[in-house]
Amino acid sequence: MKQKIQDESPERMLELIRMGHPDECGEPYSRHEVIQEFGRRGKEIFEALGWPTEDDAIYKNRYTGSEQTLIDTIFEDGGKFRKTKLNWWSAMGDWWPVDMWIPDDLLGCYKANPKLSSFFPELE
């Protein structure tokens, strides 16, 4: 019997959203199901993991190292009108709270001293 996504822990939800398409990785949930669950309990997941949820909390992109506020990350319009859908899933999928950020996921072209393997991982 398939486990309900509503029963997954916050840690597991982080793992699932970072997979991109969990069902392609052998998981029982599609990306759509994971995104829907983040829509249902997004802020709750952040709070349970100890991630800041204040509008002005600074988050850093996993791949580019760029920084922006949480409000700019979870609203497509940067929170300007707050009429667009909350995208908690996007913030957790692609961003880290700035005080938790580590450069491990940076794309090669954003690394301070990229190695050849940064651009061609198969050379590692």
Residue-level length of the chain: 124
pLDDT computed for residue 76 by the predictor: 66
**Tokens at 27, concatenated:** 């998981």
Strand order in the sheet with 95-97: 67-69, 58-61, 95-97
Q: Which pLDDT score, from 0 to 100, does residue 3 have?
A: 84
State the pLDDT at residue 26: 93
Q: How many C-beta atoms surround the C-beta of residue 82 within 10 A?
A: 12
This prediction has a pTM of: 0.78
CB–CB of 101/57 below 8 Å? no
Give ∠ CA 18-87-47 in degrees, rounded to 5. Answer: 75
The tens-digit pLDDT sequence of the chain (124 residues) is 678 999 999 999 999 999 999 999 999 999 999 999 998 998 999 999 999 999 899 999 988 889 999 988 887 655 555 555 578 888 898 999 999 888 777 777 777 655 555 455 555 4
**CA-CA distances (angstroms) from residue 124 to 95, 103, 107, 110?**
25, 17, 15, 18
Give residue 52's pLDDT.
Answer: 95
Report how far residue 9's alpha carbon sits from residue 71's, in angstroms, rounded to the nearest whole number.
Answer: 24
E strand map for the chain: 58-61, 67-69, 95-97
